[in-house]
Structure 1
Amino acid sequence: MIDKKLLSMLVCPVSKAPLIYDQEKDELVCVASGLAYPIRDAIPVMLESEAREISLEEKEYFASKKT
């Protein structure tokens, strides 16, 4: 679980857009850039080189969660 206050301060380093916490995969997802950043040992790894590209289905799912 990630602290809500921390989540509200973090943005995607690529797009500067807000992030969505995916509890199931323990990742921070950015719909704008299409990237998911891992959380390791309770620390978000906010490096583009460590992020994975999310699928179109994931992008649509998380875009619907933003509203």
Structure 2
Amino acid sequence: MSAPPPTEGENPRYKLDPKTIEMLVCPITKTRLILASDGSELISIVARYAFPISKGVPLLVVDAARRLDEAEVDALRNRPQSYND
């Protein structure tokens, strides 16, 4: 019996390269984006939007983004910095 195929989040083929993340900016504010801790979204704290990542491709359009609430923005501002923030 073979193992089940990896899900989208586990598949290394769908991982965003940290160098790519560094080059991307928010389409609204042109400010830096940060990767969500689970790797499923790129977040613009300034614009207060979270842009989804689908199969390793960031969808940087407002229609695909979700709005962040105040609690999420505060938590993101206070989280420890990592190499890709």
Q: Could you say whether these structures have the same fold, taking a TM-score greater than 0.5 normalized by the shorter chain as the test?
A: yes
Q: What is the letter of the counterpart of residue 32 of structure 1?
A: V
Matching residue within 22, 28, 48 for 1:34: 48
Identity %: 28
TM-score when normalising by structure 2: 0.71
Does residue 46 in structure 1 map to residue 51 in structure 2? no
Q: Any stretches of 5+ residues in structure 1 without a counterpart? A: none
Residue correspondences, number: 67
Q: Which has the larger radius of gyration?
A: 2
Q: Which residue of 1 aligns with 2:27?
A: 13
Give the structure with the higher percent helix. 1
Per-residue deviation at 1:66?
Answer: 7.2
1:23 alignment partner, SS class: coil
Q: Identify the range of structure 1 (19-28 vs 39-48) with the bigger mean alpha-carbon deviation.
A: 19-28
Q: What is the letter of the counterpart of residue 63 of structure 1?
A: R
CA distance in 2, matches of 1:2, 1:63: 22
2:43 alignment partner, SS class: strand
- RMSD of aligned alpha carbons: 1.6
TM-score when normalising by structure 1: 0.88
CA distance in 2, matches of 1:29, 1:50: 12
Q: Any stretches of 5+ residues in structure 2 without a counterpart? A: 1-14
Q: Which residue of 1 aligns with 2:78?
A: 64
